Amino acid sequence: MKYNKLTYLTYQSFPANTANSLQTIKNLESISKLGINTELIFPLREKISSDSIKTINNFYNTNVEINVTGVKHNYPFGKIKFFEKYLYHISHYLWAKKAVNKIAKNYETNAVFMTRSDWVFHFLIKKNFKVVFECHQTSKLRNFILNKHIEKENSRIIFLNELLKNHYIKNKKNCKYVVLHNGVNLDEFNNFVEKKKQLVFVGNLLRFDKSRNLEFFIKGFVNSQLAREYILIFVGGPKSEAERLKNFVRKSNFNCKIEFTGKLKRKEVIHTMQQSMFGILINSSENQHSYLYTSPIKYFEYIAAELKVIAVDFPSHRNLPLNKKISYFEENNSISLINCLNNLNINSELVEPSELYEISLRHRAEKIIELLND
């Protein structure tokens, strides 16, 4: 049976300054462009939450033509700033159960859904709906829910990389899944922009509120040959972390150009990437998701912006598409980083235009629809 309608039911909030909300909107945009009637349902759990498609399009610089429904969220998460981790799980469970029960009364049994919410997946599967679950990382809750439902006929799984797939599939035989990294809307990078001698890092300056080890990278850059001619630019917030890093650079009296732009509008971020020559991927191995499972949107945007990519040598980065074009350095090894930076112009390669479709959101959307129709 071929489906022409997809409902994305999720506990995420929109609009939001998070990579996961951007990823969801961009994917739904690509799916809808393939002629699929697409619907987004989510909780109005934040003060800025809105189901106005105009607000969402303006925030994400998109032109999504989908139906959007915000559902009331009469639960403590987002309202009480204590015990947030526990309130998140309780509120997530209660909201998902209520939302799915309502859907079961109003949707045909052959309706199909997509989600990255564990509890939404769980309750939809129990109601015998067909569900595509996006698996972006591991957790104790996810281990329990996926092991319970992964082999069911109405279950479909998208694993963000091969390592995630290996973690969950193991000896299971009847799973329907696909390994799909994130992707990029190539149309956003069509304009020609003249290159400057710049290295750029784009994204949140913290990872799950913890350091990305950016001071280490800054020190390596300062001691490399690139520092004589190139500018190192960091695009993103939060403002407090940008100020802390500015103070670190100021107190260190580094004799080179290092800039912190703070958060920029989407068009400004893309323009800055397109102006640059090298894009940076760096995290701390203390976070398992960063070390093993991440598929950063900015990596695909760097490639679309015709940047050469430099990355800390993690299994997650070694599993990225076109990873042989990446220049790697060892974590916390200053000599490795400096050598990598000094050899960028010699060893690094640009991705060929013919290879770009593999990392496009359109290609990703086509694969999702194939999985859905399987």
Q: Please say if the pLDDT value at position 81 is more than 80.
A: no
Give residue-wise pLDDT tens across range 284-302.
898 898 999 999 999 999 9
3-state secondary structure of 159: strand
> What is the third-level CATH fold of 5-180?
Rossmann fold (3.40.50)
Q: Please say if the pLDDT value at position 12 is more than 80.
A: yes
Give residue-wise pLDDT tens across range 131-171.
999 999 999 999 999 999 999 999 999 999 999 999 999 87
Using an 8 Å Cβ cutoff, are 257 and 265 in contact?
no
What pLDDT score was predicted for residue 13?
95
Alpha helices in the chain (DSSP H): 19-33, 53-60, 84-106, 118-126, 140-149, 162-169, 214-222, 239-252, 266-275, 288, 297-304, 315-318, 334-342, 344-347, 361-373
> Which pLDDT band, with edges at 50, 70 and 90, does 1 fall under?
low
The answer to whether the 5-180 and 186-356 domains have the same CATH topology is yes
Give residue-wise pLDDT tens across range 217-231.
999 999 999 999 999
Amino acid identity for residue 187 in this structure: D
**pTM recorded for the entire structure:** 0.93
CA-nearest of 283, 259, 286 to 19 is 283
Residues 6+ apart with CB under 8 A from 340: 310, 327, 328, 329
> Which pLDDT band, with edges at 50, 70 and 90, does 206 fall under?
confident
Torsion region of 209: left, alpha or beta (phi above 0 gives left; psi -120 to 50 gives alpha): left
Q: Which CATH number is 186-356 given?
A: 3.40.50.2000
For the chain, the structural domain boundaries read: 5-180, 186-356
CA distance 22 to 55: 14
The DSSP bridge partners found for residue 68 are: 40
Q: Please say if the pLDDT value at position 238 is more than 80.
A: yes
CA distance 303 to 359: 9
CA-nearest of 282, 287, 336 to 310 is 282
